[in-house]
Structure 1
């Protein structure tokens, strides 16, 4: 009987299915030449993702792909640093041009991998300074970027171009090879430098050659005038404006930008960024602002982003109540809104929810006030998931207003020990809330909650290690009449004794699935990738 034969297309489909399983892919390399040729592009699309602390051998593979000039540069730097014991002097021709298959380029991860490999050969004194990062690692970046042809995701620090090894780097050739790029994260240093010309050339060429980004992340350095920021802009105003105009051009020329994130304080420039985002008003779905100063910024510009569904403000400042008024005329139907550790008037959050809440399905807020809970109850009729983080003292009268919430899923994160919080929470949870997650270090209070809450929950998720006392409380809750609990989330990282195991089995016999707390919590509280 003839053995079954797999076609080349079938083999390739199998390998693609295994593309995130690097250990299995390494085994596939040894089957035959066809399997080897087909596996290498998948294995080296994101080779740094599978690196562990014990395995940095890819660094030597990258050295074997250096050209003569890069080898000479590396030898020179190693000699100056008196790094010995690295055997790459023998002529070695790699079977493939491995860097050309790279699809995911993250400069921070690459730095970590290469640094980890060189740490084996360096003295403690060398490891404690920036010599490896400043003089050796940039040679690797220059070599990888020179050879890359298939990069789809690029996460890069622009000060990378300030290194000596990039003096003669051909930026035009590199950016012309980025035709497949769909995600760009720029960490902008903005420091006055003799190398800023190559930085400007890079940004100009990105705007000319890369117009199909689906995701764009811009990270600015921080300024001195913010209470929560600790990095500073070192360049003059003209340099900053010139840089921002190039960033704005990159935003404007994109054909179908879906996600934009601005991380960093640039209060004089945010308005220009928002103005540029209007060029993407038909495609932009997801916008995030991190550490951003909105002083004197016109928020009305957001109104023209017709398809905006996700909006996040994290550690931002400068928004005044009169600025929020412009959002009353927004054209988009927001599905998710997040507020995290912002520094502005306490009434800004309720006012934004008033204007943007009608279409909201998911909402994340902090330290609830009476006006905030009232506005959520009044202006968010379509809410499915509500996440509330409490990290300062709140009045219990706020908790009592929870009975008016119109949502199905509630997630509570509480870091403060507030007297009678859990019993008030239990008595204030409306029956329409069928799934609840509670993340708190004060686990001794869960008994109060379980004894007083309604019995219509389908999921209860508690960050509590399984213990006999908790299992008894849960079983008592389940045995309430007409109980509908289907899923119970707890921490499962301990061995159970016989009595605990017996109680756990009794709970399962009631039709309740026991799941790991962390997995359920993240599943219910994190936004899907847009």
Structure 2
């Protein structure tokens, strides 16, 4: 078999980026192909975030600090072997699909009522977002909601140098003002952001609107 340069293999496999089934089959051919394909497969998980199997794989990669969010809820981590790759390091885009996948992992039933489910979902969100901010070397797009109010997430986002787009989605009213205040602080510090999207359901008062506009004005990259 003719051995092609790695660049050629990358171009070929990258053209199959959204053909997950065939790309996964190619990854099983040999180690060389696998090392090229895994980063492509995990580059933009998108809709695949909804799959609870993927969420379970991500939970396997949490470090001790990130697991502390889960301890109060006695969430048992999957018992699979630890992944051979640091999958999160390849992810460039985190969409709201991640939150849907977490929600799918904890359905409302006789085990979890609505409030318990909400608290558990947030704990898993905290863990995974902190993990992604810590390990994703090329993370560019990040969807967030009121979890931005979590201190550890805020600190990691505050010093992040890769995220260029923040998409602030639905935020419950009781978290609205704190969420915007945290966002303003990030805008004042983070010089890598080039895009900011805020859900139109988030209604701001005049005071916070002025602060937000000032921070946008002073952030020369936006």
Structure 1 length as normaliser, TM-score? 0.36
Q: What is the DSSP-based 3-state SS (H/G/I as helix, E as strand, rest coil) of the residue aligned with 2:142?
A: strand
Are residues 1:93 and 2:62 paired?
no
In the TM superposition, what whole-angstrom CA distance separates every residue of 1:152-191 from its partner, at most 9, and x where no partner exists? 222222x1235xxx3x41523333324342x332237484
Q: Aligned-pair RMSD on alpha carbons?
A: 3.2
Q: How many Å apart are 1:13 and its aligned residue?
A: 1.0
Please show how residues 301-450 of structure 1 align to structure 2 within 5 Å. none
Q: What is the DSSP-based 3-state SS (H/G/I as helix, E as strand, rest coil) of the residue aligned with 1:4?
A: coil
In the TM superposition, what whole-angstrom CA distance separates every residue of 1:371-398 from its partner, at most 9, and x where no partner exists? xxxxxxxxxxxxxxxxxxxxxxxxxxxx
Alignment match, 2:199: 219
In the TM superposition, what whole-angstrom CA distance separates every residue of 1:171-212 from its partner, at most 9, and x where no partner exists? 23333324342x33223748455992x753443223432445
On the 8 A contact 2:16/2:23 being kept in 1, the answer is yes
Q: What is the DSSP-based 3-state SS (H/G/I as helix, E as strand, rest coil) of the residue aligned with 2:70?
A: helix
Alignment match, 2:64: 68
Q: Work out which of the residue numbers 112, 118, 124 in structure 2 matches 1:126.
A: 112
Gaps of 5+ in 2: none
Evaluate the alpha carbon distance shift between residue 46 and residue 244 of structure 1 in structure 2; reply closer, same or farther with a 3 A threshold.
farther
Q: Which has the larger radius of gyration?
A: 1
Are residues 1:245 and 2:190 paired?
no
Q: How many Å apart are 1:24 and its aligned residue?
A: 2.1
Are residues 1:77 and 2:73 paired?
yes
Instruction: State how far apart, in whole Å, the 2-side matches of 1:77 and 1:195 are.
Output: 27
Instruction: State how far apart, in whole Å, the 1-side matches of 2:92 and 2:211 are.
Output: 28
Higher relative helix content: 2
In the TM superposition, what whole-angstrom CA distance separates every residue of 1:272-319 from its partner, at most 9, and x where no partner exists? xxxxxxxxxxxxxxxxxxxxxxxxxxxxxxxxxxxxxxxxxxxxxxxx
On the 8 A contact 1:179/1:209 being kept in 2, the answer is no
Instruction: State how far apart, in whole Å, the 2-side matches of 1:57 and 1:24 are.
Output: 19
Q: What is the DSSP-based 3-state SS (H/G/I as helix, E as strand, rest coil) of the residue aligned with 1:184?
A: strand
Instruction: State how far apart, in whole Å, the 2-side matches of 1:116 and 1:63 are.
Output: 14
In the TM superposition, what whole-angstrom CA distance separates every residue of 1:245-285 from its partner, at most 9, and x where no partner exists? 23542355244x6xxxxxxxxxxxxxxxxxxxxxxxxxxxx
Alignment match, 2:44: 46
On the 8 A contact 1:186/1:218 being kept in 2, the answer is yes
On the 8 A contact 1:156/1:186 being kept in 2, the answer is yes
On the 8 A contact 1:156/1:185 being kept in 2, the answer is yes
User: Which one has more relative contact order, counting CA pairs under 8 Å at least 6 apart?
Assistant: 2
Instruction: State how far apart, in whole Å, the 2-side matches of 1:195 and 1:212 are.
Output: 21
